[in-house]
Amino acid sequence: MTEPESPDAFIPATRDRQRGKLYDAENLVHRIFDRSADFPVVEVAGSHLTVPVERHFATLESVQAYVDAVLAMPSIRSGWPRAAVPVAVRERSGQQQADYQRLVAVIAVPLHSGNRAWALRELVILHELAHHLADAGEEPHGSAFAARLIALTSEIVGEEAGFLLRTTMWDNGVRVT
């Protein structure tokens, strides 16, 4: 006898086929940024890049001010209609990962993992903003998301950071539209 199907069995889910690859690429970029104080110049795809400075935040209030400022930028407003929708920032319990909740437009950020506030960094917040700016029904970490994250990173952190992210995504097999 077979088990009955769950009530959610007939609800189509948006597949997140390249999440692992995208996270692997981002984690590599995070490590490069973490080491940039000691090694500010890196060679990527035959190019020498000076790693730009990444903002780090001390409080949820500073993250909120940053999110508000990014969403108010004319280039962001003109590129993505959802930039007009305000985003709230709150603390996330636990220490696993930051999270974006689309229905309520909230970025939830864990404040500490051990002695590190790993999520209170610009690249993590831009990742969550890239989710906010997504079209409804879009694959969560799909090719459109990857392109938007690269565009945000290039615009806000700098072209070098965008190139670094694009190259590591490409090396990890992440599709980008």
- Inter-residue contact 156 to 122 (CB < 8 Å): yes
Nearest to 108 by CA among 170, 96, 32, 85: 96
Q: Please check whether residue 60 lies inside any domain of the structure.
A: yes
Q: Please check whether residue 12 lies inside any domain of the structure.
A: no
Nearest to 117 by CA among 52, 63, 168: 63
Which residues touch 1 (CB under 8 Å, ≥6 apart)?
none
For residue 35, the model assigns a pLDDT of 95
CATH number at residue 124: 3.30.2010.10
**Per residue of the chain (177 residues), what is the pLDDT tens digit?**
444 333 333 334 567 899 999 999 999 999 999 999 899 999 999 999 999 999 999 999 999 999 999 999 999 999 999 999 999 999 988 767 899 999 999 999 988 755 567 789 999 999 999 999 999 999 999 999 999 999 999 999 999 999 999 999 999 999 999
Q: Exposed (0-12), middle (13-18) or buried (19+): which is 157, by Cβ within 10 Å?
A: buried
Residue 31 belongs to domain spanning: 17-171
